Amino acid sequence: MRRLAAAAKPSRRRHFLLPYHISTRTTAATASSSSSHPCSSYDPTAQFLPSDSSSRHLRLPASLRRDALLGLARLLKTSLQCHLALHALTCTSPPPPPLPARFAAATQLTVLSRQLRPFASLLLASLLPAASPHLLAWCASPGGDPYAALRLALHAFLAASMPSEALVVLARVRGIGKTPSVSALATLLRLLFCAGEVRAAWKVFVEMTAREPRPTLAIFNAMILGFCHRGLVYVATGLLGVMWRFRVFPDACSYNILIKAHCDNQLIAIR
């Protein structure tokens, strides 16, 4: 919080007085919604998202909020490009900026600061699913760095819980010889299992065993949990034998998932 307060102090460098203010105050309603800690459910970046019901489920993970806010606070004081990009992405007055301009503005935020990548993806996710075909067409030929556009689109579709479109973008990322992040693939696996796309999830996993990034403990636990939720407990148990080949060792979470699945499916013989 000290660094966040320091970033909010006036800078000696040239700054731009444009109508953007980051509010970090929690309301009474927000504070009462969390029984453990008031700040755990409050996301200051949500003030940049549309207020309609389709965007209410979009939240920046708590582990990424601090870095994103610090980066955004610094850029809002020193970068006119940051203000212009935010205006293009959050403008609601008619006529709104064209979608390609909004996509390019989100890419500009990621260029200005690496810490703003999750935030930019969240802003794009607020335009989905209406803008899905336009985003797929744009990231195929963005006019700049193709991987930056594909990475941004991939995380936007994942944030919007759209695994089918994310698979399309993932294939394009693989097609240009780039490696997606482990966190993105773990999220994709979870969404595919939730949607019942077990074969697609298995295909993504098999691709990871042959190419980078190699499966980690988080990936194996996501696969075990997904198979157990779909009733394929024996397949999930068989993954324990696959883990050793990649020098990955099951943890308490791995065994707890399997034990609970066996108990739920009455697969444990009590003697």
pLDDT at 134: 93
Report how far residue 77's alpha carbon sits from residue 253's, in angstroms, rounded to the nearest whole number: 44
Residue 259 lies in a domain: no
pTM for this one?
0.80
39 domain residue, yes or no: no
Direct distance between the N- and C-terminal alpha carbons of the chain, in angstroms, rounded to an integer? 55
Please report whether residue 76 resides in a domain: yes
The pLDDT value recorded for residue 27 is 41
pLDDT in tens, 108-132: 999 999 999 999 999 999 889 999 9
Give residue 267's pLDDT band: very low, low, confident or very high (50, 70, 90).
low
Predicted pLDDT at 92: 77
What backbone phi and psi angles, to 5 degrees, belong to 141? -145, 75
**Based on the structure, what is the number of domains in the chain?**
1
In a domain, 202, yes or no: no
Task: Render pLDDT for 201-259 as a digit per residue (tens, 0 to 9).
Answer: 999 999 998 888 899 999 999 999 999 999 899 999 999 889 988 999 999 999 999 99
Whether residue 177 has pLDDT greater than 70: yes
- Is the model's pLDDT at 25 over the cut of 80? no
Angle between the 163-175 and 198-210 helix axes, to the nearest 10 degrees? 20
Per the CB < 8 A criterion, the answer to whether 58 and 126 are in contact is: yes
Cβ atoms of residues 110 and 139 within 8 Å? no
Residue 138 resides in a domain:
yes
Q: Structural domain of residue 111, as residue ranges? A: 1-13+44-49+62-178
Residue 31 in domain: no
Q: Look at residue 139 and tell me if it is in a domain.
A: yes
Residue 172 within a domain: yes
Q: How far apart are CA 240 and CA 126, in angstroms?
A: 38
Which has more pLDDT, 37 or 139? 139
